[in-house]
Amino acid sequence: MRTKLFLPALLVAITSTTSINADDDTGFYAGLGLTRAAVTANDLDSSNTNGSIALGYMFNDRIGVDFSTYILGNSKDGNLTATTGTLALTGVYQMPVSERIDVFAKLGVARTELELKKGSTTLIDESTNDFIWGVGGKMDFGKHNILLEYNKLSPNDGGIDIINLGYRYEF
């Protein structure tokens, strides 16, 4: 009998003493991230690691708007080089899974700059407006959040898959 009561009591004690209460997600936020992007364009299939910056506003705990820039940089594959960068404006819908974990989906538009060169010859030099979508999750530690997200966009002559590990501060 004691054993049956001891384990649940211990779990409650551990979780209540180490608990950090999640706050209201309403308001402005800013974030930085480490971005892994895979670029596919013509004969180029390459990936690299750079960064991201995000600014946003949550109207309530579920709906918001996000403005992000993904600094995708240069990708090389043999003598093919792609230089890419993306600015995205997305609507955000998030749902709580637990007190500290939220999942979210993003849908919006992105302005993508893509330059593809073979040696010194430019094959593609375009700026396109594309749809971007993403899914992810975040751990909420009050004003501090850690998030992991996947975004997908498809400029005219290729595709970009973006995985972002980020930190967000809520004001």
| Mean of pLDDT over the chain | 81
Whether residue 131 contacts residue 153, with contact meaning beta carbons closer than 8 Å, is answered with yes
Percent of the chain predicted with pLDDT > 90 = 42
pTM greater than 0.85: no
What pLDDT score does 42 carry?
58
Q: Give the lowest-confidence range in 38-47, 59-68, 153-162.
A: 38-47
Q: Is the pLDDT of residue 7 over 70?
A: no
List, for residues 114-126, the tens digit of each pLDDT value: 777 777 888 777 7
Whether residue 19 contacts residue 96, with contact meaning beta carbons closer than 8 Å, is answered with no
Judged by DSSP in three states, 56 sits in: strand
What pLDDT score does 75 carry?
65
65 vs 85, which has greater pLDDT?
65
55 vs 160, which has greater pLDDT?
55
CA distances from 147 to 7, 35, 132, 139 (A): 32, 12, 18, 6
pLDDT band, residue 112 (cuts 50/70/90):
confident
Q: How many angstroms from the chain centroid is the CA of residue 13?
A: 34
d(C-alpha 111, C-alpha 123), whole Å:
19
29 vs 142, which has greater pLDDT?
29
Tokens of 130: 């594309």
160 vs 92, which has greater pLDDT?
92
Q: What is the DSSP pairing of strand 144-153 with strand 80-96? A: unpaired
What pLDDT score does 19 carry?
44
CA dihedral over 18, 24, 28, 34, signed as positive or negative: positive
What pLDDT score does 77 carry?
66
pLDDT band, residue 66 (cuts 50/70/90):
very high
161 vs 76, which has greater pLDDT?
161
Whether residue 108 contacts residue 90, with contact meaning beta carbons closer than 8 Å, is answered with yes
